[in-house]
Chain A
Amino acid sequence: MREATSARVAHMLREKGFNAFVLVGGFAAWRKAGQATEPVPRDDLVKLPTFT
């Protein structure tokens, strides 16, 4: 199912009283339409363990 995660999260948000919507096609559709994006801030990146 497309938008599985966003639909699940939006559904939970609506159950908690938030006015949530799902963006059709997600980030891929947004980027494909040529809309504005930005690099993820370094502080938001998740540090995974590495083998180095």
Chain B
Amino acid sequence: MHDFLSLIAHHGYAVVFVVVLAEAVGLPVPAAIALLAAGAAVASGALRAPVLLLVAVIGMLIGDSLLFVLGRYMGWSLLGWLCKLSANPENCIMRSAESFYKRGKLTLVIAKFIPGVNTMAPPLAGSMLMRPMLFFQLDLAGATLYAVAYASLGFLFRDFLVAITRGFQTAGRAVEMVLLIGLLGYIIYRIRLYRKHSVYRIVPRVQVEELARKLASEDESHPLLVDVRSHGYYDPNAARIKGSIRVEPNNLAEEIKNLPKDKDIYVYCT
């Protein structure tokens, strides 16, 4: 934190621009901390508030516009790619979209304050064919609100931020403990996730070649292919395995009523 504050003080505008742009395109960098530190730098006279806000807003607009355009042309495949790192890509997309629909267009104004939605909102707006001018207006409002909010906090609590950085230096061991506890918590979370999914490992699996052979055989008990992808069905150019049927995984209780019990069922997702 202390290093970050001095970095902001020496290379203020460039650092803020790079950090907010990187966060806007989905990289895990702390834009809020950069803006807080920059606000403190304004209070100490190292940076000028109007230039800082201009640089921060332009950085965010460039990143958001890039994802908006990509979302418009790549559709749900981009969202799938952005969600790839999550434990369950299907749910990641559905959750982000649901949160977007609930709040409507104004999501773009507050998205930057909501973890997980901040990166997904611009490509979702693009996928849902929002007019570019409307997107620009809402995103400008959101970026300005975000930059002003965090820079103001840094400006107002400059002394407090300095105290925190001093605290970090004197309480280095405490910080290490917090990081260690966080790391342990993450490991426990991953183990629980692994154990939760391990129950599914008992399900028999087939390779592509084996299934293709079964489909090509003259055997009368033709297997049933079931597609359980969610987002694959939002893209007008979507494709699926020839002859398969769709089953919505979030509505399985209802959907299985139509499935035959006398056939082998081969399930696939992305």
Q: Which residues of A contact B (CB under 8 A)?
A: 1, 3-14, 16-31, 33, 35-40, 44-46, 48-52
Task: Decide if B42 is an interface residue (CB 8 Å cutoff).
Answer: no
Q: Is the CB of B233 within 8 A of A18?
A: no
**Contact residue among A1, A9, A18, A31 (Cβ-Cβ distance under 8 Å from B261):** A18
Specify which chain B residues have a CB less than 8 angstroms from the CB of A24 in the assembled complex: 205-208
B238 interfacial contact with A, CB 8 Å: yes
Contact partners of A29 in chain B: CB under 8 A: 208
Give the residues from 205 to 235 in chain B that come closer than 8 angstroms, CB to CB, to chain A. Answer: 205-209, 211-212, 226-230, 232-234
Interface residues, chain B, CB within 8 Å of chain A?
87-90, 97, 101, 105, 125, 127-131, 134, 193-194, 197, 199-209, 211-212, 226-230, 232-234, 236-243, 246-247, 249, 252, 256, 259, 261, 263-270
Known A-B contacts A5-B229, A16-B256; the reply to A51 vs B268 at CB < 8 A is: no
Contacts of A8 in B (CB 8 A): 200, 249
Shortest distance from the beta carbon of A10 to any chain B beta carbon, whole Å = 4
Sorted nearest first, the 3 A-B pairs with minimum C-beta distance are A7-B200, A51-B130, A23-B268
Task: Give chain B residues whose Cβ lies under 8 Å from the Cβ of A49.
Answer: 101, 128
The listed residue (B211, B230, B233) touching A40 by CB distance below 8 A is B233
Given A24-B206, A27-B227, A51-B129, do A45 and B267 touch, yes or no (CB 8 Å)? no
Given contacts A4-B200, A7-B197, A35-B242, list 12 more A-B pairs with CB under 8 A: A9-B249, A19-B261, A19-B263, A20-B266, A21-B206, A22-B204, A23-B266, A26-B268, A26-B269, A27-B227, A33-B209, A38-B242
Contacts A1-B87, A5-B88, A24-B206 given; indicate if A45 touches B236 (C-beta within 8 A): yes
Residues of B within 8 A of A21 (CB): 203-206, 264-267
Residues of B with C-beta under 8 A to A30: 208, 241, 268
Nearest Cβ in chain A — how far from B223, in angstroms? 8
Contacts of A16 in B (CB 8 A): 256
The answer on a CB contact under 8 Å between B240 and A37 is yes
Within the assembled complex, what's the spacing in Å between the Cα atoms of A35 and B205? 18
Let me know if B232 and A40 touch, CB within 8 A.
yes
